[in-house]
Amino acid sequence: MHEEWIPIVMFISIAVVVGLAMYFGYRTKHEMQATARAALDKGHELSPEFIAKLGDALPSPKSDLRRGVIFTALAIALALFGWLFPEADIQGIMVSVAAFPFLIGIAYLGLHKFGKQ
């Protein structure tokens, strides 16, 4: 019975972390817009730097490389973690799970290599 809770708690915790990250990103943008409205209502001019922060931030040229390296390293870590267990079933499962971030990392590395040419 208790073993059934392990994947349930794992997926719920991932959803909570992603949800909190999205919420705090929304909250930051909302507070910046409220600050801009208050400044405009008082008659202040907004600086170009502040207006640039209000827009969507452009990704840095190396963001695909960074994401690719992080996803690939995560995949390698998952695969190595799976190989620590002597049971072949667990090794196969962990290598299968590691395949997803590995392929995402390879895709990001490919986008970095061939994207801006």
Q: What is the pLDDT of residue 80?
A: 92
Q: What is the pLDDT of residue 57?
A: 65
Side chain identity at residue 79, one-letter code: A
Q: What is the pLDDT of residue 15?
A: 95
**27-62: pLDDT as tens digits:** 988 888 888 888 888 888 888 877 777 776 667 768
- 6-33 mean pLDDT: 91
Dihedral of alpha carbons 105, 110, 62, 64, sign: negative
CA distance 81 to 75: 10
**65-112: pLDDT as tens digits:** 999 999 999 999 999 998 888 888 888 899 999 999 999 999 999 999
Q: What is the pLDDT of residue 1?
A: 61
Structure pTM? Answer: 0.59
Q: What is the pLDDT of residue 33?
A: 85
Q: Where are the domains of the chain?
A: 1-57, 59-117
